[in-house]
Structure 1
Amino acid sequence: METRTALAKYSIGVGDRFAHEAPAQLAACQKTLQAGVEVVPVWNKSHREHQIIGSQPDSVRAAAQAAVRAAGWDRPWHVDADHVRREILDPYLGCCDYFTLDVAEVIGQPAPPARVEAFLQRHPELLGRLDLPELVEPIQTDAATLGRAAQHYLKAVDEAAAAYRAIAAAKGPGTFITEVSMDETDHPQSPLELLVILAALADAGVPVQTIAPRFVGRFNKGVDYVGDLRAFEQQLLDFLAVIRFARQHYNLPPSLKLSVHSGSDKFSLYPILHRTLRRTGEGLHVKTAGTTWLEELLGLIESGGAGLDLARDLYTEALEHLDELCAPYATVIDIDRRRLPPADEVRRWSPERFAAALRHDPNHPQFNPHLRQLFHVGYKLAARRGRQFLRLLEQAHDHIATLVTHNLYERHLRPIFLGNGKF
């Protein structure tokens, strides 16, 4: 499939919930480029985040475009309508050139038997033994196994295809990047299931450039990966083998690659990602979720004064609204309420003590992942402060920008894409 807007080999999705850190995020990509690897920034903000903060989709493009112009960035960059569905596309059509189509709610809804049978008839190559290069173990399948996979995913694929066609009708085919998100489901996909998804997307004429599968383990917000590292690496290799097969056999775009969602702070996975990219030569998109907001909060804490007072107030309020804050993120956080310090204790903390609890340094004895996850989902409390919060961000701008650039470059971009050398 041809597409005029092709995504670069390496890209990183960066969240900027309050639209203040695009220059600092772009600076991290500039440092990566200076080190020898181009990683394209993709600014993303979900529909839920816009609703919570009260922002509009075009504000993301405006902030990104201003940063690009100020920095003289002459490489590609994109704005992602993150986790959108067909019924909420309209506000994003004019300002986004990247669409992450979220079909999680449809996964598992059974496709009609005739639809499944048509898929089986169209894809006899998926029956029997599939021994793809780099696959950890060959795929063994029969009509019943393939039929179950098709029944489970074809309706979700059809929904993604309908959304794609709506965007293409408004913007024109080939003028935007399509990502399909299959990760927000309870069960990890198998290599066969990913093959079915990609084959069906190709059948439907969707020029998918990134696919976000559900990996093994837990990808909790803002903290490290929880799971079997060996199992993740094997699955990663399997998925990459499937993507290569799909590109070759189903006429999908040459730029098709994996997308790792909730990729922020998954430090234990980064060496695996780096050596796998070097070994296979494949591309990668990593979505960093919302840790920029936590760097902003760290900057306010370390600046002391009114910023520190606000952080203390936000923690007190977060404890009071714990259930409300956590409910929308229940599947991607793991907070032990017994490990959350009382509000009056946090109010006595020094800036240094508070920052040590929040900053993601698993080796620091005072780091508290439960407090960090609570703040991660508590950004709506800062949003409710409106101009008061934004004014404090502006007052601490220089320090916050340093933190944001350092976090994105040193702790994400460099270990994933540079490691100990260039590729």
Structure 2
Amino acid sequence: GAEVPSLSRQQALETARLFLGAVRQAAQVYRRIVQLRQGRPFVTEVSMDETSEPQTPAQLLVILAALADERVPLQTIAPKFTGRFNKGVDYQGDVGQFEREFRGGVAVLSYAVKRYGLPGNLKLSVHSGSDKFSIYPAIRRVLLDSGAGVHLKTAGTTWLEELIGLAEAGGEGLTIAKEIYRGAWEHREELCAPYAAVIDIDPERLPSPQEVDSWSGERFASALRHNPANPGYNPHLRQLLHVGYKIAALMGDRYLEALERYREPVARNVTQNLFERHIAPVFLGA
């Protein structure tokens, strides 16, 4: 296990100065949601994963105490961990250091639940957590040692599996996938700008839309599917399409109807990816 950190009054004050304004803002947002939900339940998460530096376990403790003071019943909290959590690709960094930070965070949460009366199901959330295959064994070890839970945020990887399913379906599905790539390529600068801290795309490694237009569904799927052992895999294309979801959104019903029309390959890819590559290694140790 990991010990709960102790911190001096000075350290606590410095942490409060750094984070208290953000905590108060989060509490205002929470209370507004409560008002709008009118008694309907919702899950409260506080995320801090897009800060420039990771929070230490001691800082996390102060943040949780402040959230408890504001009566925010958070069920998940997403700190920033050491290393790069780029969109849709594997973790880059020191896995041992990540495991120490994750273990420390779990210990802090366990203490905060007892000490500050936060919800008993409070758990760490790993944002951009999909496809981080190299850290899943570490997360699994900590969960087994502590009995804790974890929230693994995986929305982006599901959208990419939808695209893979459409490409494999051929016909209109493949046409849509190619159009989405063209749109993402043409608008790559504006699509990438909000995610600059969590993507590493070399424009020189992106195929042209003209080249992609000549691809078979299998070739498109190989480039996009997260399988570094496949010589056709292109992490630059994958990251661009990860942040290119707005292109699909602009298609509106055309995209949604394609998902229904090609439900079988889409569902197969989404299910296999979530279960075999995410749920099984983290929660089942498979």
* TM-score, normalised by the number of residues in structure 1: 0.64
Task: Select 1:384's aligned residue among 222, 237, 250.
Answer: 250
Residue 371 of structure 1 is matched in structure 2 by 237
Displacement of 1:181 in angstroms is: 1.2
In 1, the alpha carbon distance for the partners of 2:219 and 2:51 equals 37
Displacement of 1:174 in angstroms is: 9.5
Deviation string, structure 1 residues 189-240 (Cα, Å, up to 9, x no partner): 0011101001111122222221111111111111111111011000001111
For structure 2, the residue ranges without an aligned partner over 5 or more in a row are none
Matches within 5 A, 1:238-317: 238-317=104-183
* Cα distance change, pair 187–299 in 1 and its aligned pair in 2 (3 A): same
Deviation string, structure 1 residues 19-69 (Cα, Å, up to 9, x no partner): xxxxxxxxxxxxxxxxxxxxxxxxxxxxxxxxxxxxxxxxxxxxxxxxxxx
- The amino acid that maps onto 1:256 is L
In 1, the alpha carbon distance for the partners of 2:221 and 2:39 equals 47
Residue 197 of structure 2 is matched in structure 1 by 331
Identical columns (%): 56
Query: Any idea what SS the aligned residue of 2:152 has?
Result: strand
Residue 348 of structure 1 is matched in structure 2 by 214
- The amino acid that maps onto 1:243 is L
Query: Any idea what SS the aligned residue of 1:290 has?
Result: helix
Count the aligned residue pairs. 286
Task: Select 2:99's aligned residue among 233, 236, 251.
Answer: 233
In 1, the alpha carbon distance for the partners of 2:37 and 2:225 equals 42
* Cα distance change, pair 404–174 in 1 and its aligned pair in 2 (3 A): closer
* Cα distance change, pair 330–248 in 1 and its aligned pair in 2 (3 A): same
In 1, the alpha carbon distance for the partners of 2:269 and 2:192 equals 26
In 1, the alpha carbon distance for the partners of 2:261 and 2:202 equals 34
Query: Any idea what SS the aligned residue of 2:124 has?
Result: strand
Displacement of 1:388 in angstroms is: 2.7
* Cα distance change, pair 210–174 in 1 and its aligned pair in 2 (3 A): farther
- The amino acid that maps onto 2:172 is A
Would you tell me which structure has more strand in proportion to its own residues?
1
Displacement of 1:404 in angstroms is: 1.1
* Cα distance change, pair 384–161 in 1 and its aligned pair in 2 (3 A): closer
Report the aligned-residue RMSD.
Answer: 1.9
Query: Any idea what SS the aligned residue of 2:44 has?
Result: strand
Displacement of 1:285 in angstroms is: 1.3
* Cα distance change, pair 142–283 in 1 and its aligned pair in 2 (3 A): same
Does structure 2 conserve the Cα–Cα contact (< 8 Å) formed by 1:221 and 1:289? no
* TM-score, normalised by the number of residues in structure 2: 0.93
Residue 198 of structure 1 is matched in structure 2 by 64
Displacement of 1:188 in angstroms is: 0.5
Query: Any idea what SS the aligned residue of 2:12 has?
Result: helix
Residue 51 of structure 1 is matched in structure 2 by none
Query: Any idea what SS the aligned residue of 1:208 has?
Result: coil
Residue 216 of structure 1 is matched in structure 2 by 82
Does structure 2 conserve the Cα–Cα contact (< 8 Å) formed by 1:292 and 1:404? yes
Does structure 2 conserve the Cα–Cα contact (< 8 Å) formed by 1:264 and 1:412? yes
Does structure 2 conserve the Cα–Cα contact (< 8 Å) formed by 1:264 and 1:287? yes
In 1, the alpha carbon distance for the partners of 2:58 and 2:209 equals 49
Displacement of 1:177 in angstroms is: 2.8
- The amino acid that maps onto 1:134 is A
* Cα distance change, pair 239–354 in 1 and its aligned pair in 2 (3 A): same
Does structure 2 conserve the Cα–Cα contact (< 8 Å) formed by 1:259 and 1:284? yes
Matches within 5 A, 1:113-192: 134-135=2-3, 139=5, 141-171=7-37, 175-192=41-58
Deviation string, structure 1 residues 108-150 (Cα, Å, up to 9, x no partner): xxxxxxxxxxxxxxxxxxxxxxxxx623xx7463333222111
- The amino acid that maps onto 2:118 is L
In 1, the alpha carbon distance for the partners of 2:245 and 2:142 equals 34
* Cα distance change, pair 173–387 in 1 and its aligned pair in 2 (3 A): closer
Residue 409 of structure 1 is matched in structure 2 by 275
Deviation string, structure 1 residues 284-315 (Cα, Å, up to 9, x no partner): 11111322221111111111122222222322
Residue 68 of structure 1 is matched in structure 2 by none
Displacement of 1:169 in angstroms is: 4.1
Deviation string, structure 1 residues 251-274 (Cα, Å, up to 9, x no partner): 222111111111111111111111
In 2, the alpha carbon distance for the partners of 1:170 and 1:292 equals 29
Displacement of 1:167 in angstroms is: 3.1
